[in-house]
Amino acid sequence: MDFIRSYADRFHHAKEEDILFACFDPGLDILKAMHEDHDRGRAHVRGVVEALEQGDREGVAAHLAGYAGVLSEHIKKEDEILYPWMDRNLSVRQVGELFARVSSRWTSGSRRNGKSTRRSSSDSRKRTQNLFRR
């Protein structure tokens, strides 16, 4: 549960909500759906923790299965709807800016693991999508 809370929610979902979604009108249906998925996932994580604290094995199993279902649906929406839509609506410059903002969340400077995080503009769009998939 710590991994889900630390990585999935505080890192991955935060990148989407604070950086990517902020580029668009929050009233868009796709963004509302993504937020709803995040909220449903968080609710299942809370349910797992509560069930664990109560020793409720069935509750743990039900919430883990629910979380897995939300996650599968969410990834499908990202791959089939969100990222292709983003590709059509963001300029190469905007994608590069997103890449820089996301990369700065990983590191305090312009290097990660001793390697430069700079990318050419030709592969910025693909790499930015991959950043949001992590």
Instruction: Say if residue 115 is exposed, middle or buried (CB neighbours under 10 Å; 0-12, 13-18, 19+).
Output: exposed
pLDDT in tens, 46-101: 999 999 999 999 999 999 999 999 999 999 998 999 888 888 888 888 888 888 88
Q: Which DSSP state fits 79?
A: I
Instruction: Break the chain into its structural domains and give their ranges.
Output: 1-89, 91-134
CA distances for 33 relative to 39, 80, 121, angstroms = 10, 13, 30
pLDDT in tens, 18-40: 888 888 888 999 999 999 999 99
CA 83/CA 134 separation, integer angstroms: 13
Single-letter amino acid, residue 18: D
Single-letter amino acid, residue 1: M
CB 100 within 8 A of CB 58: no
> What does the block give as tokens for 37?
């998925």
Other Cβ atoms less than 10 A from the Cβ of 134: the count is 10
Position 133 scores a pLDDT of 56
| Residue that the structure tokens 């919430």 belong to | 63
**Average of pLDDT values for 95-110?**
69
CA 121/CA 62 separation, integer angstroms: 45
Position 27 scores a pLDDT of 92
Q: Which DSSP state fits 39?
A: H
Other Cβ atoms less than 10 A from the Cβ of 57: the count is 10
